[in-house]
Amino acid sequence: MKRPSSLLLALLLLPAAPTLADRGARPAAAAALVPVAILPKDGNEQYELAFWESIKDSSHAADYEAYLNTYPNGRFAALAKARIARLKADAAKTTPKAEQPKAEATRPEAPKAEAPKVEPAPKPEAPPPAARKPEKQEKPRLKAVEQAPASAGADAPPPAVPPAAAAAQELRDCPTCPPLVSLPAGAFNMGSSTGDPSERPVHRVSLARPFAIGKYEVTRGQWAECVSAGACQRAGENGEPGEPVRDVSWDDAQQYLKWLSQKTGKSYRLPTEAEWEYAARAGSGSRFWWGDQMRPKMANCKDCGEPWRKEGPAAAGSFAPNAFGLHDTSGSVWEWVADCWHPSHAGAPADARAREAPNCRTRVIRGGSWRDGESYMTSATRFKYDSGVRQSQNGFRVARWVD
Mean pLDDT, the chain, integer: 77
Q: Give the tens place of pLDDT for each residue, 245-299.
A: 999 999 999 999 999 999 999 999 999 999 999 999 999 999 999 999 999 889 9
pLDDT at position 96: 53
Query: Which residues, at least 6 apart from 304, have a Cβ–Cβ distance to it below 8 Å?
Result: 294, 296, 297, 298, 330, 331, 374, 377
Q: What is the mean pLDDT of residues 30-53?
A: 52
- pTM of the model as a whole: 0.68
- Judge contact between 19 and 27, C-beta under 8 A: no
More confident of the two residues 303 and 185? 185
Q: Cα–Cα distance between 167 and 271 in angstroms, integer?
A: 22
Closest CA to 31 of 4, 2, 52, 1: 4
Beta bridge partners of 188: 205
Q: Please report which confidence band the pLDDT of residue 147 belongs to, taking 50, 70 and 90 as the band edges.
A: low
Q: What is the mean pLDDT of residues 299-304?
A: 91
Sign of CA dihedral 62, 63, 64, 67: positive
More confident of the two residues 343 and 39? 343
More confident of the two residues 315 and 47? 315
Q: All domains of the chain, ordered by start, with CATH?
A: 8-104 (no CATH), 125-403 (3.90.1580.10)
Q: Cα–Cα distance between 378 and 301 in angstroms, integer?
A: 12
Q: Cα–Cα distance between 236 and 102 in angstroms, integer?
A: 14
Q: Is the pLDDT of residue 91 over 50?
A: yes
Q: Cα–Cα distance between 48 and 213 in angstroms, integer?
A: 31
More confident of the two residues 371 and 115? 371
Q: Torsions phi, psi of 10, nearest 5?
A: -65, -40
Range scoring the smallest mean pLDDT among 60-74, 225-239, 266-280 = 60-74
